[in-house]
Amino acid sequence: MTLMETRAVSRRFGRQLVIDSVDLGVAEGEVVGLLGANGAGKTTLIRMALGLLRPSGGTVTLFDREPSRETRFRLGYVPQSLGLYLDLTVGENLSFAARAFGRRFDPESLEPELHAVTGVLVRNLPLGLRRRIAFAAALAHDPELLVLDEPTSGVEPLARARLWETIRAAAERGVGVLATTHHMSEASECDRLVVMVAGRVVARGSSEQIIGGMRTVAVSAASWEGAFRALDAAGLPVALVGRSLRVPDRSVAEVDERLRAAGVEARLDVVPATFDEAFVTIAQREQP
Residues that bind another protein (CB under 8 A): 35-40, 113, 116-117, 120, 124-129, 153-159, 161-162, 164-165, 168, 182-185, 188-189, 224-225, 228-229, 232, 237-243, 274, 276, 279-280, 283-284, 287
State the greatest distance between any 2 C-alpha atoms of the chain, in Å, as a whole number: 72
Query: In angstroms, rounded to a whole number, what is the distance separating the alpha carbons of residues 154 and 133?
Result: 15
Parallel/antiparallel/unpaired status of strands 31-36 and 145-149:
unpaired
Give whichever of 101 and 214 is closer to another protein, judged by the CB atom: 214
CB of 267 to another protein, least distance (A): 16
CB of 67 to another protein, least distance (A): 27
Query: In angstroms, rounded to a whole number, what is the distance separating the alpha carbons of residues 56 and 47?
Result: 13
Give whichever of 20 and 189 is closer to another protein, judged by the CB atom: 189
**49, 78, 84, 83: which is closest to 63 by C-alpha?**
49
Contact of 146 with 170, CB cutoff 8 Å: yes
Instruction: Give the torsion through C-alpha atoms of 105, 180, 164, 212, to 10 deg.
Output: 160
Three-class HEC string of 206-239: CHHHHHCCCEEEEEEECCHHHHHHHHHHCCCCCE
CB of 234 to another protein, least distance (A): 13
Give whichever of 75 and 221 is closer to another protein, judged by the CB atom: 221
Contact of 288 with 198, CB cutoff 8 Å: yes
CB of 68 to another protein, least distance (A): 33
CB of 159 to another protein, least distance (A): 7
32 by DSSP, 3-state: which? strand
**195, 194, 282, 204: which is closest to 237 by C-alpha?**
282
Give whichever of 117 and 178 is closer to another protein, judged by the CB atom: 117
Give whichever of 183 and 200 is closer to another protein, judged by the CB atom: 183
CB of 225 to another protein, least distance (A): 4
Give whichever of 107 and 126 is closer to another protein, judged by the CB atom: 126
